[in-house]
Amino acid sequence: MKLSGKNMVRAIKLVVSCAFFFILFSFIRGNELLAIFRRIDWLYFSLSFSLIPVMLAASCLKWKVVLGERAGHVSFLQLLRIYAVGYFFSNLLPSTVGGDVVRSYYAGRLLGSQSYAAVSIFVERFTGILLLFFLVAAAPLLAPELYAIPYVWIPSCAGVVLLCISCYLCFSGNPLALPRKMLDLILGGLHAVASRSGSENAKKAVRSVEEGSVVLLRKLQKVREELELAIATFRRDRMYLLQVAGLTIIFYFLTWVNVYVSFRAFGVNPDFLAICALVPAILFAAHLPVTLLGNLGYFESVFVFYFLLIGIPGAETLAMGILLRLKMLTMGVIGYIVYLFYSEDRKLDLENLKKMAGR
């Protein structure tokens, strides 16, 4: 049976996920990991799970603030339910329909505007990513010796570059003019090389690159339009900007606390400032979508690799990563239960959602 392109990608991601776990467990003895789980500190274990509703509430509160005046039509409880359903799609389903698309769909039905819902989720995510770029660059200042490590200063430099690009997209009058000129020059050169070679395959390859660049520019234009709406709102209401920024900072602080408490659940007492310095780089690296189900396997591997840099053994970090994964799966299960009983057209039109995801 021939696999479709999407199924092929899923199969490759599944293999990569298994490969990461194989590598992890090849370095860690099974009895060593079992011994760590046997000495769980149940107080910190319970505290770790108690952070789930706190972090979810912080995310929903930020989303409600981003929705602005229209949030009056949607209760906080409704946003919590929608967020939970999003966790189900993101963490339990190997689907091309992600949690953000599902959240946009449900919120759009309640708000009476799919476009407004999509922009609100874009603003929520973009402000989070923008702060992540800043933290990747600046957080290692909390433990300056980490800048001597390439795996820290390289992401830091990337964070600075991406932060500058983001600012350029936000504040430039015509930010796509330069990328268009550069693409025109590159494509012109590729067409010339393909014509001289006389190879039909080379010409097809260049046409494919050209089609891909058109799609990329179209998506960048869409991002720019959504950014313009967000920036206009921020300029009109400075308090709105402060609220969104403040809630974003609170969420990242809770992320640091989440990792710290999860370590304590296994008897590890890491330096909290070192966690604050490393976690942004870890999240930055873990955003690369190389495996299924919330980067299963890769996510845990990145944590193990980075915390080895500050002397925390791999087995303890893997146990902590498994606990984080268990909490994500728990949220996914809760989201599934909410999805089953959700009254707002709980039978989603997945084909339309896939089209939304591909826009």
Q: Could you tell me the two tokens for 307?
A: 């915390």
Q: Where are the alpha helices (DSSP H) in 99-198?
A: 99-111, 114-138, 150-171, 177-197
In a domain, 188, yes or no: no
In a domain, 180, yes or no: no
Band the pLDDT of 327: cuts 50, 70, 90. Answer: very high
In a domain, 162, yes or no: yes
Picking from 240, 265, 274, 255, the residue whose alpha carbon sits closest to that of residue 127 is 240
In a domain, 66, yes or no: yes
One-letter amino acid for residue 235 of the chain: R
Domain encompassing residue 29: 5-172+235-357
pLDDT at 218 over 70: yes
In a domain, 227, yes or no: no
Please report how the helices 200-236 and 150-171 are oriented relative to each other, as an axis angle in degrees rounded to 10.
70
Tell me: the pLDDT tens digits for 260-317?
Answer: 999 999 999 999 999 999 999 999 998 877 776 667 788 888 999 999 999 999 999 9
Mean pLDDT along residues 320-332:
92
List all residues 6 or more positions away from 131 whose beta carbon is below 8 Å from its beta carbon.
245, 248, 249, 252
Of the two residues 200 and 318, the one the predictor is more confident about is: 318
Q: Could you tell me the two tokens for 174?
A: 């015509």
Number of domains forming the structure of the chain = 1
**b or e along 90-122 (b: 16 or more beta carbons within 10 Å of the residue's beta carbon)?**
bbbbebebbbbbbbbbbbbebbeeeebbbbbbb
What pLDDT is recorded for position 1?
A: 46
Which three-class secondary structure state does DSSP give residue 341? coil
CA distance 84 to 328: 11
First-to-final CA distance of the chain: 29
Picking from 310, 321, 205, the residue whose alpha carbon sits closest to that of residue 263 is 321
Burial class (CB in 10 A: 0-12, 13-18, 19+), 298: buried
CA distance 123 to 130: 10
- Diameter over CA atoms, the chain: 71
148, 154 contact by CB (below 8 A): no
Tell me: the pLDDT tens digits for 344-355?
Answer: 555 555 555 555
Q: Could you tell me the two tokens for 346?
A: 């709980």
52, 261 contact by CB (below 8 A): no
160, 264 contact by CB (below 8 A): no
Picking from 17, 88, 83, the residue whose alpha carbon sits closest to that of residue 289 is 17
Picking from 6, 8, 17, the residue whose alpha carbon sits closest to that of residue 358 is 6
In a domain, 157, yes or no: yes
- Ranked by mean pLDDT, the top range of 111-120, 136-145, 221-230 is 136-145
CA 3, distance to chain mean position in Å, is 28
Mean pLDDT along residues 220-239:
75
Look at 4-8, 46-50, 169-173, 190-194 and tell me which has the smallest mean pLDDT.
4-8
Mean pLDDT along residues 66-89:
85
pLDDT at 250 over 90: yes
